[in-house]
Amino acid sequence: MDCKRFIEEQAQELKKTVGTGLAINALSGGVDSAVCTVLGHRALGAQLKTVFVDNAIMREGEPQRVVKLFAKMGIPVELVDARADFLGALKGVTDPEAKRQAITSTFYKKVFGRLVRESGAKYLIHGTILTDIEETVAGIKRQHNILSQLGIDPRKEYGYEVLEPLKTLRKDGVRAVAKALGMPDELVHRIPFPGPALAARIVGEVTEERLATVRKATAIVEEELKDSGAFQYLAVLLNDYATGIRNNQREFGQIIVVRCIESVDARTATATELPWKKLNRICERIVEIPGVNRCLYDLTPKPPATVEYV
Ligand code: XMP
């Protein structure tokens, strides 16, 4: 792919569509929305307002880290605190699709609806990639960012139009574009992170307490595996409990699954053959998290498993 040409074409297209209006976009933690932001600012400058929505389901320190990183690139990012909106919408929800649906509508309808109304933006730039579209259309999973492919008209439903400049690319293409845009390595090689964030890694109800547990596990896994060269690595909190023993006391504890995969574009994946010593080290640290007494390593390829658990 000719990245320079792709960037030029998409920037022209954004300029043409947005005209003299205002566009808005949201950064998550991932490379897709980061590329949209840099591409969008290159095309639209001050006509693009970028926000980071703190939805309560982010990784440790993520909102502040992302805002700082973009400030360094000269791109202002507004931090929006929507934690209560999301936690409220997720309360009592256990079904995976219902969970994704709750996040989608809270994000697009409630939080974004509000931001768009306040800013007067007519366009939302979104980092949907080809894999998201294919899997959603195939009915494998409802990616949180697909609307028109599902027959939802965002203009009618939410009052703005969605622009998806990356919709012809897969993850490897997005990374190539990120590099060509001169983005720092920290962003170009950032491991994929799903829109539904840590909620995709909690089986069962998403509560503040359970988020704190999976957040701690995620920090451990990311720190231990950052030099693994794997495509993606993550921690999942199961909805089961298992009997254990600690300080000679019987306890009924939570179970964390560690997933680390090799993949090119996340359509298929296999488990990474991690060294036994590394796995043991991760396990030791994970079971120090209060309330957790088991740590499992997931060997399942995709298919039949998906990467995330929800
Ligand atoms: P799955 O779990 O579907 O994940 O095998 C494939 C890749 O996509 C990421 N993923 C998402 N990315 N919105 C996103 O932007 C989503 O709703 C979403 N769900 C999964 C996942 O982390 C993996 O890299």
Here the CATH number for the domain that contains residue 211 is: 3.30.300.10
Indicate the helix (H) or strand (E) that contains 236. strand 232-246
For residue 195, the CA-to-ligand 1 centroid distance in Å is 7
Number of structural domains in the chain:
2
Query: Do 223 and 270 fall into the same domain?
Result: yes
Question: Are 121 and 173 part of one and the same domain?
Answer: yes
* Range of the structural domain that residue 219 is part of: 202-297
- Can you give the pLDDT at residue 158? 77
Residue 262 within a domain: yes
- Quick one: which atom of ligand 1 is closest to the CA of 269? 5
Mean pLDDT of 23-34: 90
- Phi-psi region at 266: left, alpha or beta (left = phi > 0; alpha = psi -120 to 50): left
Residue 152 pLDDT? 72
Q: Where do we find the tokens 């894999």? A: 131
Distance 234 CA to ligand 1 centre (A): 12
Q: What is the CA radius of gyration of the chain?
A: 20
**pLDDT tens, residue by residue, 123-144:** 999 999 998 888 888 877 666 5
Indicate whether 150 and 26 sit together in one domain: yes
Give Cα separations from 101 to 86, 115, 222, 276 (angstroms): 11, 20, 27, 38
Report percent pLDDT > 70 for the chain: 96
- Ligand 1: does its nearest atom lie under 6 Å from the Cβ of 302? yes
**Domain check: are 30 and 127 in the same one?**
yes
Between the CA of 308 and the centroid of ligand 1 the distance, in Å, is 7
Reading phi first (left if > 0) and then psi (alpha if -120 to 50, else beta), residue 160 is in beta
Which CATH number fits the domain that encloses residue 103?
3.40.50.620
Same domain, 78 and 216: no
For ligand 1, mutation pick of 143, 265, 310 (most atoms within 8 Å of CB): 143
Give me ligand 1 centre to Cα 166, in Å.
Answer: 15
Q: Across residues 5-9, what is the average pLDDT? A: 98
Whether 243 and 122 map to the same domain: the answer is no
Per-residue pLDDT at 143: 65
Label residue 287 exposed, middle or buried (CB < 10 Å: 0-12, 13-18, 19+).
middle
Q: Whose CA is nearest to atom 7 of ligand 1?
A: 266
State which amino acid sits at residue 94: T
Residues 154 and 219 in one domain: no
Q: Is the minimum distance from the CB of 144 to ligand 1 under 6 angstroms? A: yes
Q: How many Å lie between the centroid of ligand 1 and the Cα of residue 19?
A: 32
The answer to whether residues 195 and 27 touch, using CB atoms and an 8 Å cutoff, is no
Evaluate: CB of 195 within 6 angstroms of ligand 1.
yes
Residue 148: the pLDDT is 67
Q: Is the CB of 143 under 6 A from ligand 1?
A: yes
Is residue 28 within 8 Å of residue 70, measured between CB atoms?
Answer: no
Per the domain annotation, does 304 fall within a domain? no
Cα of 75 to ligand 1 centre, how many Å? 26
What's the pLDDT at 131? 87
Check: CB of residue 211 under 8 Å from CB of residue 254.
Answer: no
Q: What percent of the chain has pLDDT over 90?
A: 79
Return d(Cα 27, Cα 71) in angstroms, integer.
13
The rounded distance, in Å, linking the Cα atoms of 210 and 280 is 23
Q: Averaged over 274-295, what is the pLDDT?
A: 98
Q: Closest ligand 1 atom, CA of 196?
A: 17
- Where does the pLDDT of residue 165 fall: very low under 50, low under 70, confident under 90, or very high at 90 and above? very high
> Is the pLDDT reported for residue 116 higher than 90?
no
- pLDDT band, very low/low/confident/very high, at 28 (cuts 50, 70, 90): confident
Tell me the C-alpha to C-alpha distance, in Å, between residue 184 and each of 61, 113, 219: 19, 32, 21
Which residue's CA is the closest to the ligand 1 atom numbered 22?
194
**Residue 253, domain member (yes or no):** yes
Please choose from 149, 174, 307 the residue to mutate so as to test ligand 1's pocket, defined by most ligand atoms within 8 A of CB. 307
Query: For ligand 1, atom 9, which residue shows the shortest CA distance?
Result: 194
Residues 156 and 22 in one domain: yes
Question: Which band of pLDDT confidence, cut at 50, 70 and 90, is reported for residue 146?
Answer: low
195 located within any domain: no
Res 113: pLDDT: 83
What b/e sequence results for 210-237 when a residue is b if at least 16 CB atoms lie within 10 Å of its CB, and e otherwise? bbebbbbbbbbbbebbeebebbbbbbbb
For residue 67, what are its two tokens?
Answer: 């805002």
What is the average pLDDT across 140-169?
A: 78
pLDDT of amino acid 144: 58
What pLDDT shows up at residue 42? Answer: 96
Provide the pLDDT confidence category of residue 154 given band limits of 50, 70 and 90: confident
Residue 15 has pLDDT above 90, yes or no: yes
Q: What is the pLDDT of residues 183-220, one digit of tens each?
A: 999 889 888 888 899 999 999 999 999 999 999 999 99
Region of poorest pLDDT, from 11-20, 83-92, 145-154, 199-208: 145-154
User: Which of 166, 188, 210 is where one domain is finished?
Assistant: 188
Do the beta carbons of residue 265 and residue 227 sit within 8 Å?
no
If you measure from the C-alpha of residue 107 to the centroid of ligand 1, how many angstroms do you get, rounded to a whole number?
17
Integer Cα distance of 290 and 258 in angstroms: 17
CA of 86 to the centre of ligand 1 (A): 19
